[in-house]
Amino acid sequence: MKKTSTNWLLSSQYDLKTAETLLKNKRYIYVVFMCHLALEKILKAILSEKFKELPPYTHNLNRLIELGEIALPENYKVFIDKINLQSVPTRYPEDFKRPSKEFNKKIAEDYLPYQKHTTC
């Protein structure tokens, strides 16, 4: 495995551990943010392995999947679509009170289990 790919994966694992810590500390918005970031890095690791150039600077998971020609089961596609929609509100909230109310423990826990399965 290429060094850059390994770095992406190690960073992704670190982000998942961070998400777990944030969940315990009730920082739910950032649990979702870190889960998205971890997935983004996993996809960039795949792209690093497949191609010589660095992965593009994008947070769009569907775009990364498309570029890597990655086939996913339907339930993963649904999850990717769902978490991909959360990227902008968790990074750049227009009204911080809104995501603070929307992202609760249940929602954060719904995102985190998928992440654990994707890195195993």
- pLDDT given for residue 96 in this prediction: 79
Asked if residue 30 lies in contact with residue 100, where contact means CB atoms within 8 angstroms, the answer is no
- pLDDT given for residue 114 in this prediction: 57
| Full set of structural domains in the chain with CATH | 3-119 (1.20.120.330)
Residue 103: pLDDT above 90? no
* pTM for the full predicted model: 0.89
- Alpha-carbon dihedral sign for residues 58, 60, 33, 45: negative
**What is the mean predicted confidence (pLDDT) over 47-73?**
95
Residue 40: pLDDT above 90? yes
Extract the tokens encoding 103.
Answer: 């992202």
Only one residue has tokens 């792209």, namely: 47
Per DSSP, helices labelled H in the chain are 3-24, 28-50, 61-68, 74-85, 87-91, 97-102, 105-119
Residue 120: pLDDT above 80? no
